[in-house]
Amino acid sequence: MEEKELLPHLFRMEYRKMVSVLSSLFGIEHIEMAEDIVSDTFLAATESWSARGVPENPTAWLYTVAKNKTKNWLKRNNFFQQKLLTDLRYSIPEGEEIEIDLSARNITDSQLAMIFTVCHPSIPTESQVALALNLLCGFGAQEIADAYLTTKTVIYKRLERAKEKLKDAELKIRQPTFSEINDRLETVLKALYLLFSEGYYSTSHNNVLRKEFCVEAMRLNYLLVEQPHTNQPAVNALLALMCFHASRFEARMNETGEMILYEEQDETLWNRELIERGEYYLNQAADTAVLTRYHLEAGIAYWHTHKEDSSEKWNNILDLYNQLLILEYSPIAALNRTFALSKARGKQEAIIAAEKLGLKDNYFYYALLGNLYTHIDDRKAMQHYETALKQVNKPVDIALIEKKIGQIKRRLNN
């Protein structure tokens, strides 16, 4: 990884780990203090590494500096240090310092505790998810705003209110009880789902695919699978969904950064190990009488790891979309179902279903209609693609739609 990319990458990967540990140490009411110390650590890295070069072990360097900054802060704030010792109910010999534990085990425990703390029912669900995305997943306010289709100002206010609510509740950051897991797990999974979705198709970044988001979502999801009390069917279903999607990452983009449609992907580039892991977690998820959206979406993703264009495949996908829309309707799921309908029962039936959706503010809608009308009415197909082109703003999507328009024009001119 190039030096200019290293620090942003480490910020994305390590910032929230250190914040979780320090927040666990200080208490949720002092979360801004934890954020300030970690932010100062990365500022120090920017200054030091620019002048002296990148250290041999940059992550260890960050952890050492974060520990030293925390100890220095505690020395300058003796009252707080004494309160911390009282709250933690332990003592240290005179002259010794509080140990700042940034071990892998403590990071895991702290992050798991933080996941369930920020998803406390004292704050609205949408604010819980926003706070989880911000503190645990490293989302900026703009990225969260894009995920929620709202403004950065709204998200700032949402985050501030959520933090105030947590302070007022005087919560301790600790491992969740069984009842807390049951009450909050749905919100936790929603945050991880949004994180992975932003990585799989970024709405707030020039790159469509942001693998680091997906990797982090899978890492946090795996933490839940590894803990006995959180190793539940919905958790396994979501991890299966992530594995199936991640298995096709290398085939989704070409060397110039252009998107490759599913039908044109090189199957030999699919990661068979991830597909097998996805199948394992999907089988684990089957041990339940309750189907969640993650079960259904994982099933859809599973069938997409079978490249053959069979009627069995598309009928299964269509049936899963039908169940998904009954369980939890969304416009994007309805659009995707229409594509599956075209593969299972033909384009004519799919066109009727698609036009009933009337999603005129969504360029995916017009791109889908362009696809459905291709070879049936190429002029109409081109009109829909041109409408989509007016609404799209991502260079990779623009290139893909322009390619489709070019193919139709060549056909019409022959």
The DSSP annotation for 69-87 comes to HHHHHHHH-HHHHHHHHHH
Residues 6 or more apart whose CB falls under 8 angstroms from that of 120 comprise 128, 165, 166, 169, 171, 184
pLDDT of residue 121: 79
- Neighbouring CB atoms inside 10 A of 128's CB total 24
pLDDT of residue 291: 93
pLDDT of residue 92: 45
Closest CA to 120 of 175, 178, 171: 171
Rounded CA separation 62/93 (Å) = 27
- Neighbouring CB atoms inside 10 A of 194's CB total 22
SS3 413: helix
Task: Return the C-alpha torsion angle 274, 299, 297, 362, nearest 10.
Answer: 100
pLDDT of residue 204: 52
Helix ranges (DSSP H) in 77-124: 78-88, 104-118
Q: What sign does the CA torsion over 382, 388, 394, 396 have? A: negative
pLDDT of residue 231: 94
Tell me, what DSSP letter sits at residue 124? -
Query: CB burial class (10 A; 0-12, 13-18, 19+) of residue 41?
Result: buried
Helix ranges (DSSP H) in 119-176: 125-135, 141-148, 152-169
pLDDT of residue 137: 73
Task: Return the C-alpha torsion angle 353, 358, 359, 361, nearest 10.
Answer: 150
Q: 173, 24 in Cβ contact below 8 A? A: yes
| pLDDT tens series, the chain, 414 aa | 566 788 888 887 888 889 888 888 877 777 888 889 999 999 999 999 988 999 999 999 999 999 999 888 877 776 555 655 555 444 444 455 667 888 888 888 888 888 888 888 777 877 877 887 787 777 788 878 876 778 899 999 988 888 888 888 777 788 888 888 888 899 889 888 988 887 787 655 555 567 777 888 898 899 999 988 899 999 999 999 999 999 998 998 887 777 888 888 999 999 999 999 999 999 999 988 889 999 999 999 999 999 888 999 999 999 999 999 999 999 999 999 999 999 999 999 999 999 999 999 888 999 999 999 999 999 999 999 999 999 988 787 888 899 999 999 998 887
Location of structure tokens 């969640």: 292
pLDDT of residue 195: 80
Question: Whole-prediction pTM value?
Answer: 0.81
Termini Cα distance of the chain = 48
Whole-Å CA distances, 110 to 14, 72, 154: 13, 22, 28
pLDDT of residue 143: 79
pLDDT of residue 239: 98
Closest CA to 144 of 160, 126, 161, 123: 126
